[in-house]
Amino acid sequence: MSAHLARSRLAAAALALLFLAASGLVGSSGATASAQPLPDTPNRLQLDIDEFAPRMLDTDSETVTVSGTITNIGDRRISDLTARLQLGERQGTERAIADSLSEPPPTDASMTTFIDVTESLDPGRSAALRITASLNAGPGSLRVDSTGVYPLLVNVNGTPEYGGPARLASMNMLLPAVGVPGGPAPEPPDGTTDVAMLWPIADTRPRIVAAPYNGQVVLSDDELAVDLAPGGRLDALVSAAEAARSDQQVFGSLCYALDPDLLETVEAMAGGYQVRTQSGVVAGRGTEAAKRWLVSLRELVRGQCIVQLPFADADLSALSRVRRDGSADQNLSAAAVNGGPTIQRLLGMRPLGGVLWPSGPLDRTAVSWLGEAGVGAVLTPSNGLEPTRPSDSGVRLAGTALRAQPFDSLVARSLSGTLAAGSALTPADEPDVAVQNGLATLAFRTGLGDEQSSGPVLVAPPHGWTAPEDELRTLLDTVGELMADGQAAPASLQQLLGEEPVGEARIGYAASEVSAEVSGAVTDAMSEIDTTIGDLVDAMSVDATLQIEPQELTRPLRNGLIRASSAAWPDLLSRRNAVADARAQVDALRKRVTVETPGQPLTLASGSSPLPIYLTNDLPVVMTVRVELANASGLRPAPVGDLTIPAGAKVTQRIPTEALRAGRFSVVVSLTTPGGTELGTPARFELNSNEYGVITLVLTAGAAGALLLLSGRRIYRRIQERKAANQ
């Protein structure tokens, strides 16, 4: 078997300088590589692997070849660059494989001699690397004594200026052996393991930052155009799966997991879209790529198994913490898991009813409303259930009517490349190395371990899978080889879901699994936005002519809020930016209902003239608004009830007022919903009044008369008092 690894860049931790713990590290083939990385040492070399073959050893395998390039990314010349391959002991148990995915295991069971790469390498320069290791050929070769999974290390040594010899770059991966090289054919497996595979097609993060009703969407960048074009990431997912159609066993075992947000985004791109840049909004370049990709996807999934991912890969636990008026907004959460109509509308295929593949842990609140939202089964990692379940049967979630269908945690972990803190084995940004580990763990599950899997294996790659196309094809080819050799048999997700659940379990959840930022400040901001959206909906009503439902008009706003909850955001800053984008969409809609500022000062014809205000509703729904006057010290407005503005209309509303003084003064007029949400921008009115209002004059005259009467009475009393004093 021959396959090529796409260029693979090792993470900084794997590139850290490793000093010798023993002189044998750069010596003979019998020495051990036991050196540990020193903290705070600078990166020196970057190791890129272009070819690694074969990907799976069998009885016909004679050599293992690794080739690529080594680049000096430091600031010092490096001399005496050498490299070799090292192989560890067979990993026979699930615990051993899991430990190998967390921490680089020992790889000193057998190793090749060091080969010279180059005498010296200046900063910024690269050198070609090619190592061919013999298998089971005595000293200086790699020893594979039995079938199984072995840890393999690519070890690069060198001497930096002003330093000593050290391991400057390394790469660890797992190597499966379905047969002993040069040995007899292995015994047929005792049983065949059923294998079904989820094939996620989703973006690596949400892209839409603005989606005005009946307007072009605005994306945060135009990277999706590259991903959709031939050779791009999303194109690779479709092309690799389409190529597997020639092997009906493999093709029939696939079930496509689709993100409705990605489909809606691509649909919007196909109709013309814009991209936000530092210099402003520009036209997007991926319209044709979006059209072509959507057609290809539609052809791929026709008649095939489909399940839905949450909209924008929403974190359902975080979303369940969004509150409106103190209560969880279940409508918002339900919108995140009911993407079936979108999938059917765009692809002509209905996803499996009530089946959802969520991302991240589900807390009790999220689990409780999933059933009410129409979800009947959730796909979840096998190690996420308590008590821990094998990945071979569905279970009923305790206290609910939900079914939990476990997928294999070990295989999923290897494909994702997720590491424990401080590990340098398979960085999350190494999708090609992750595929190698994924096919190794799958081979382990289908017979290379000490104990064969007791039931079917459901393979679940990460939602935002970034493996290159040749790696995707390699994985599918390997699955096909395992099926052809009788180690695996094709299964379908429908088949697994058709089995009766065995027992009860609960989804293991710890509060620490949801970051404090998501459950705290971010969800508080989201709750505020959600309350505003709800108040806007309450102020809207259907226009008899346009027949636009308020929920449909505000759907892009709620989608923006769901995107802000996405589990795909890599850090807190990205999540906060997404919340800001959601708020900006709400603000843009609020500003489409406003009061206009007059172009010139208004002169009141009399002290009791009404104040004319000009209201504009640029929305396709009827809006109920409330007028508020501020800074009106020279004016007494009469109480005004709630006003309605027809859809798409400009109206003049006259507010009864009473001038309290003559002269020139200003009044600030603003609009709100009846619930208090500000609409538009407050307008400043400059007013001229030449006389008091009628009521003011009447009151003034009345007050003057009363004052005159009181004064007369006082004078009369004084006269009477003087007369009495003279008598």
The pLDDT of residue 281 is 96
Choose from 335-344, 379-388, 656-665 the range with maximum mean pLDDT. Answer: 335-344
Q: What pLDDT is recorded for position 600?
A: 64
Is residue 219 very low, low, confident or very high in pLDDT (cuts 50, 70, 90)? very high
Element (H, E) at 579: helix 572-590
Q: Order of strands across the sheet with 611-617?
A: 593-596, 611-617, 649-655
Are the C-beta atoms of residues 491 and 196 closer than 8 Å to each other?
yes
What integer best gives the mean pLDDT of the chain?
85
Q: Which residues contact 486 (CB under 8 A, 6 or more apart)?
A: 188, 189, 192
Give the per-residue pLDDT at 4: 43
Q: What is the pLDDT of residue 512?
A: 46
Single pTM value for the model: 0.85
Which residue from 350, 346, 352 is spatially nearest to 307, judged by alpha carbons? 352
Residue that is written with structure tokens 């339900």 in the block: 334
Of 89-103, 345-359, 552-566, 598-612, which gets the smallest average pLDDT?
598-612
Digit-coded pLDDT (tens) for 622-661? 999 999 888 667 677 777 889 999 999 999 988 887 777 6
347: Cβ–Cβ under 8 A, 6 or more apart, which residues? 258, 263, 297, 298, 301, 306
pLDDT at 551 over 50: yes
Binning the chain into helix, strand and coil, the percentages to the nearest 5 are 35, 30, 40
CB 703 within 8 A of CB 697: no
Residue count of the chain? 727
Secondary structure of 418-451 in HEC code, one letter for each residue: CCCCCCCCCCCCCHHHHHHHHHHHHHHHHHHCCC
Q: Residue 684's pLDDT band (boundaries 50, 70, 90)? A: confident
For residue 40, give the DSSP letter.
Answer: T
**One-character DSSP codes across 260-319:** HHHHHHHHHHHT--EEEETTEEEE-S-HHHHHHHHHHHHHHHTTSEEEEPPGGGB-HHHH
**Res 697 pLDDT > 80:** no
Task: Average the pLDDT over each of 204-213, 687-696, 708-717 and give the range with the smallest value.
Answer: 687-696
Looking at residue 328, its pLDDT comes to 81
Q: How far is CA 476 from CA 10, 193, 481, 706, in A?
A: 24, 16, 9, 99
* In contact, 1 and 56? CB cutoff 8 Å: yes
Cβ proximity of 188 and 252 under 8 Å? no
Q: How far apart are CA 31 and CA 28, in angstroms?
A: 6
Range with lowest mean pLDDT among 160-164, 205-209, 216-220, 221-225 = 160-164
Let me know: does 695 contact 608? Beta carbons within 8 Å. Answer: yes
> How far is Cα 457 from Cα 459, in angstroms, rounded to an integer?
6
Query: pLDDT at position 1, please?
Result: 41
Ordered by where they begin, the domains of the chain are 12-177 (2.60.40.10), 193-200+236-260+303-505 (3.20.20.370), 517-587 (no CATH), 593-692 (2.60.40.10)
Whether the pLDDT of residue 313 is over 90: the answer is yes
